[in-house]
Amino acid sequence: MGNINPSMGGGSRGEESKADSSRVEPFSDLLGAPGDLAPLGDLALVLHAHLPYVRSSEPGSLEEDWYFQALQECYLPLLAVLEAAARDRRQHARLTLGLSPTLLSLLADRQLNARFLPWLVQRQELLAQAPASQSAAADHLGQQLRQVEEQWLSYEGQLVPRFRQLQQQGVVELITCGATHGYLPLLRDVPESVRAQLVNAVREHQRLLGERPLGIWLPECAYYEGLDQQLVRAGLRFSVLDGHGLLHAMPRPRYGVFAPICSPAGVAFFGRDGNATLPVWSAREGYPGDGAYREFHRDMGWDLPEQELQDLGIPSRRPLGLKLHRVTSQGCPLDQKQPYDPAAATAQVQHHAAAYLQGRAAELQQLAGSMEQPPLLVAPFDAELFGHWWFEGPQFLAALFQQASEARVRLVTLREMLQRPQSVQVCRPSPSSWGQGGYHDYWLNDSNAWVIPEWQRAGRAMVRRVNRGVASPQQRDLLSQAGRELLLAQSSDWSFILRAGTTTELARERIHRHLDRFWRLLDAIDSGTELPQDWLEAVQREDGLFPQLNAADWVSPAPASPLA
């Protein structure tokens, strides 16, 4: 039996081969003092808030709609629920929340956010066109739009400080993600590309939130062997995997997904519990598919005449986020959906929150009889599920916060769990993701595999160019901008869209746009040619995220000395 000090980082490949079920890792030395144990066990809700970088879109574009709808339906309601819970001393609200660097960049962009209030006013004008048969639903949605408007004004359009304050109050633990949500297993052939995704994520998180993150939501929860060593070098110490990332670990963890494991390099990994996620995540088998809840796919953007939309300033037919119907029943055609009843949906939220907590309490009680330490249930979700995909989701979270103590379920953050004095089994996590099929198929298939050689070619060119150095500050600025374009081209969102078959032309255009800009910038450095000033300024304005990006992030590590 042996211990390694987590503050010292990782082990070599030789150490990895020695991982066994008796070896443990004392994380409490790194993260601080323990908290109180719950009578039955703990539930860690983990939300991943992310959007691709849509700053470069034109005002009124579809991409801008994605961001503003997420503000209106998810991020602002989520903040309202968390802040209300923080004010209520009777609640023990806890949440681990990942804020991706691209989302943080959007939230901090004053010029982009200045267009949100006019967007809200436009939605209120569109809502006035709702038929009389949907008046109750329209009145309810109109009230929600006004509440969001008041909340936005009270925040002065600045959400990032509100999230930071919630972390300071101990309600949320904020973690990061890959810089642009790059799918790391498919970037591993150029290790410097993985490092750039990680170090820029940490740097941007610290710049905007004032504290270095210890945790990371790996993009798509995707892991490959050896990634833990890269995480440690970036200062990241814990993450979440899908259940099979732990269940197929070597050796198989003694407690399955109901306790964290520690990788040989010194990173803690938590596993998703399917029983704790399915009731909330599944539209078919879970709560969001209940007939009382708001229907996601029926939208006024499809119902209103196209000419009427254009008269109200909508350039093309699209979802507007104005939904006035309920699910009604599974399999009900969209044109037969019934009007939304807000009161019935609210009552169902309370019922489902109680049922969810009862289910978790029963699960914890059953596990407690076969474990030598209190069991932990980890329930990770995309944050946009709560409010965007499932309109009542924020209400559901509020009900969980209110009812958890009575149900004898203690809500915890992942960091709190690592502050406990109990030891953590050392295992090698299995390569995995939480995508369809459980591995990498969704991002490596006939629809999107063409982009992977493009990432590799550009990544290697960036490494070569950085290692040769630059001759002037102007060239250094161009190289830094090339790094931004490379990171943006690597976003897994565009590969996901190509596979999903939705807005594929938009996704393809985005990939080509960033790669074309990357190669043009590199060519200007190599050839010494001067780029048109208007083109360069437009690129720097549109893709001006990560102001602290350093091209040195792509420097190849020095080869090890043969005498080392």
Verify that 339 and 398 share a domain, yes or no: yes
Verify that 463 and 510 share a domain, yes or no: yes
User: Higher-confidence residue: 9 or 335?
Assistant: 335
Q: How many other CB atoms are found less than 10 A from the CB of residue 563?
A: 4
| Residue at 163 is within a domain | yes
- What CA–CA distances, in Å, run from 516 to 336, 458, 489, 511? 47, 10, 10, 9
- Using CB atoms within 10 Å of the CB of residue 505, give its burial: 0 to 12 exposed, 13 to 18 middle, 19+ buried: exposed
Q: Which two tokens stand for residue 341?
A: 């009843």
Angstrom distance (rounded) from CA 555 to CA 64? 35
Contacts of 104 (CB under 8 A, 6+ apart): 160, 204, 205, 208, 209
Range of the domain at 337: 25-176+213-426
| Residue at 207 is within a domain | no
- What CA–CA distances, in Å, run from 154 to 111, 117, 148, 203, 395? 18, 13, 10, 29, 21
pLDDT band at residue 314, thresholds of 50, 70 and 90? confident
220, 299, 392, 493: which one is catalytic?
Answer: 220
Query: Of 426, 453, 481, which residue is a domain's last?
Result: 426
Verify that 467 and 351 share a domain, yes or no: no
Read off the pLDDT of each residue in 537-550 and give the average, rounded to a whole number: 96
CATH of residue 456: 1.20.1430.10
Respond yes or no: is residue 382 known to be catalytic. yes
Query: Of 426, 461, 483, which residue is a domain's last?
Result: 426
- Which DSSP string corresponds to 253-304? PTTTTSS-EE-TTS-EEEE--HHHHHHHH-TTTSGGG-TTSBPSS--HHHHS
Assess contact for 215 and 239: CB atoms under 8 A. yes
Verify that 275 and 321 share a domain, yes or no: yes
pLDDT band at residue 22, thresholds of 50, 70 and 90? very low
| Residue at 274 is within a domain | yes
Assess contact for 21 and 204: CB atoms under 8 A. no
Share of the chain above pLDDT 90, in %: 84
| Total number of domains constituting the chain | 2
Residue 563: predicted pLDDT: 47
| Residue at 197 is within a domain | no
Verify that 40 and 160 share a domain, yes or no: yes
Q: CA geometry: angle at 476 spanning 475 and 477, to 5°?
A: 90
Read off the pLDDT of each residue in 193-201 and give the average, rounded to a whole number: 98
225, 382, 477, 523: which one is catalytic?
Answer: 382
Angstrom distance (rounded) from CA 467 to CA 560? 17
Residue 316: predicted pLDDT: 80
Residue 57: predicted pLDDT: 65
Verify that 486 and 398 share a domain, yes or no: no
Residue 310: predicted pLDDT: 86
| Residue at 202 is within a domain | no
Residue 23: predicted pLDDT: 52
Tokens 């109200």 -> residue: 312
Verify that 402 and 500 share a domain, yes or no: no
DSSP 549: -
Verify that 217 and 258 share a domain, yes or no: yes
Contacts of 261 (CB under 8 A, 6+ apart): 246, 249, 253, 268, 269, 271, 424, 425, 426, 427, 429
